[in-house]
Amino acid sequence: MELIVDEVHCGPTELAWNDRMSRLALPALRPIRERRVVIVAPHPDDEVLGAGGLIQRALRDKQIVEIIAVTDGEASHSNAPVQPKELAALRERESMLALQRLGWNRPSITRLHLPDGNVRGHLRELNEALADFLLPDDLCVAPWRSDGHPDHDATGEAAVRASRGVGARSLSYLVWAWHWADPEGADIPWAQSERLSLGRRSQARKRWSSLAFQTQIRPLGPTVAEAPILPAPLLRRFWRSYEIFVDDCGDNL
């Protein structure tokens, strides 16, 4: 599937998603009893967009939180004049700032430096890195393996496989699925999904945190190639009062 994002292709409205979500009445996210919460992010911003509320919850509950940054996000504007190295450095700083805005003074981030846009070509490396990192009493939180972006799908697949291998529990977060899925349809496995409701403070912190990703939400320059990856209608999806997590048991892997 090709993800198209521009002024015409903004995906379903927030009204449509919120309406569907209120009718679905998903069960609340089960309490997290694991010692560590390991958030796997294919690009620097996914950790906050997909799980910024969960990170705050885990920090509040004095759990150990770890971020695994799969790529440096150097290819988000591959046809723009900005140098990939420069973009990677900017995005690294944005991610650090965003996590600090969630109330995390010294974020712990392990960077794997896999190539942005070609995680699937390095799936073995990713599998091994995750299997090395994860412990049986961890909760691993990664993108849903059908999220719709190739790096997200590959990362999600590796996370479920590595978690199963070590006996850790895994949950999946949604980022791009909100863009392409049909709110009235069954693209997202609702029967396996749980909802984390965010309080007003947590929601506000997540919104403030998401604004740290300036390279993604503002144009880098005047050309089409420098247009925002997350224009306002998309960014607002991550300002909701809830996050949804799919409990993916990885049966068909």
Residues forming contacts to Zn ion in the complex (CB under 5 A) are: 42-43, 46
Q: Which residue's structure tokens are 């309406």?
A: 19
Question: In terms of CB distance, is 9 or 30 closer to Zn ion?
Answer: 9
Alpha-carbon dihedral angle through residues 97, 63, 44, 209, given to the nearest 10 degrees: -40
Beta carbon of residue 70, minimum distance to Zn ion (angstroms, whole number): 9
The rounded distance, in Å, linking the Cα atoms of 49 and 180 is 16
**Of the candidates 112, 94, 98, 213, the residue with the CA atom closest to the CA atom of residue 155:** 112
DSSP character at residue 227 = S
Question: In terms of CB distance, is 24 or 97 closer to Zn ion?
Answer: 97
When CB distances to Zn ion are compared, the closest residue is: 43
Spatial contact of 246 and 54, defined as CB atoms under 8 Å apart? no
Question: In terms of CB distance, is 46 or 72 closer to Zn ion?
Answer: 46
Question: In terms of CB distance, is 48 or 196 closer to Zn ion?
Answer: 48
The rounded distance, in Å, linking the Cα atoms of 229 and 151 is 15
Question: In terms of CB distance, is 21 or 142 closer to Zn ion?
Answer: 142
Beta carbon of residue 152, minimum distance to Zn ion (angstroms, whole number): 6
- Stretch (H or E) spanning 143: strand 138-143
For residue 220, which phi and psi values (nearest 5 degrees)? -80, -20
Beta carbon of residue 46, minimum distance to Zn ion (angstroms, whole number): 4
Beta carbon of residue 199, minimum distance to Zn ion (angstroms, whole number): 26
The rounded distance, in Å, linking the Cα atoms of 189 and 186 is 6
Question: In terms of CB distance, is 34 or 157 closer to Zn ion?
Answer: 157
Work out whether the CA dihedral 31, 37, 42, 45 comes out positive or negative: positive
For residue 222, which phi and psi values (nearest 5 degrees)? -80, -15
Beta carbon of residue 22, minimum distance to Zn ion (angstroms, whole number): 27
* Residues belonging to the chain: 253
Beta carbon of residue 72, minimum distance to Zn ion (angstroms, whole number): 12
Question: In terms of CB distance, is 151 or 248 closer to Zn ion?
Answer: 151
61 token code pair = 């509950």
Beta carbon of residue 94, minimum distance to Zn ion (angstroms, whole number): 13
- Who contacts 178 (Cβ-Cβ below 8 Å, separation ≥6)? 11, 12, 17, 237
